[in-house]
Chains A and B, each alone.
Chain A
C-alpha cells in the first residue's frame, strides 16, 4: 500500500499507527503513534541503539530530531485535507536537556496551515511534559 493510501486509511479509521507501514524509519527506530482527541503523540521505545554519547549515556541528537520531525509529519498528515505525505522544508531543533535512554514522547502543533506551507512547533519529553528535553519549529510542504 502506498503512503497516500495509508494516510487515507489512517484518517478513515482514525488509526495513525498504520503510517509506520509506509515510513520505514518509524519501524526501524521503534516509533509508535497514539491518538487522543485529534492530538497525536509519538512514542520512542528505550533502546541502546539510540545512544549518542556512550559515556553519559545520552540519546543521540539525531534521534531526538528524527522523533520531533516524525511528530510534526504525522500531526500534519492528520490535520491536512489532502493525503500526501508532508515534506520538511526546514527545521530548527533546540536541545534543552540531555535525554536518557528511556521512553521518549513528542507532540506537534500546527501553528499555521497555509495553502502549500505549514508552520509547526513540536516538543519532546521523557517523564514530564513540563520538562521538555528538546523542541522543534519548522516549515513543511503540504498539499
Chain B
C-alpha cells in the first residue's frame, strides 16, 4: 500500500466515533496531520484543565495526554500493518509552562520499529516547534500484530 493510501485508511478509521478515545474527545483532541511514522495532534485551552488556578497554566497530565496521543498515532502511522499497541514508558521533560489561553500542539515521530517495540519522540508547543513546552521520548509495544480487517476492528492509540 502506498503511504497516501495507508494514511487515508487510518484517517477514515479514526473519523468514526466508535474508534475514538473518549478521553481524547473529552479534551477536544484533534488530529491535525499524519504522515508515514508521524502524527500531529492539538488540544484547545480550557481553564478547567489547569494545574494551578492562580496562573491558569495547564496541568502536566494534560501535556502527558497530548504527547502520549501524538506518540501513539505516530506509531500507528509507522506500521505497515494494523496492530494493537500499548505504551511501555514515557519520559517527559517540561521545558516551560504552557501559556494560558493557547492551544497545545504535539508532533510525534516514530523513528524506529522493531518486531515488538516502537521507539518514538514527540514535542509539545504552541505555534513554534523551536520554542517547545515539553519534550518526550517513549516506547510502545506491539501487543498483537494482525492483518487486514482483523486489525481494523481493534486498533486505537
Contacts and interface: CB of A to CB of B under 8 A. Distances in A.
A and B associate: yes
B93 A90 contact: yes
B59 A25 contact: yes
Interface in B105-141: none
Contact of A48 (B22, B59, B154): B22
Given A3-B54, A69-B60, A95-B88, A87 B94 contact: yes
A143 to B, nearest CB: 16
B149 interface: no
Contact of A60 (B49, B50, B68): B68
B7 interface: no
B132 to A, nearest CB: 13
A2 B54 contact: yes
Contacts, number: 140
B53 interface: yes
Interface residues on B, range: 35 or more
Contacts of B69: 62
Interface string A81-99: 0000101111111110010
Residue from the set B49, B61, B67 with the largest chain A CB neighbour count within 10 Å: B61
Interface in B29-64: 47-54, 58-62, 64
B18 A92 contact: no
Contacts of B93: 89-90
Interface string A10-30: 000000000001111101110
Given A54-B21, A95-B89, A98-B86, A69 B49 contact: no
Contact of A62 (B19, B54, B66): B66
A24 B50 contact: yes
A21 B53 CA distance: 8
A67 interface: yes
Interface of B: 18-24, 26, 47-54, 58-62, 64-69, 84, 86-94, 97, 153-154, 156-157
15 contacts: A3-B52, A23-B51, A23-B59, A49-B26, A51-B23, A52-B156, A53-B156, A60-B21, A61-B64, A62-B69, A87-B94, A90-B93, A94-B88, A95-B87, A95-B90
Given A25-B59, A49-B23, A92-B90, 5 more contacts: A25-B62, A60-B23, A62-B61, A69-B60, A69-B64
Interface of A: 2-4, 21-25, 27-29, 48-55, 60-63, 65-67, 69-70, 73, 85, 87-95, 98
* Nearest 3 A/B pairs, CB to CB: A66-B61, A62-B65, A25-B59
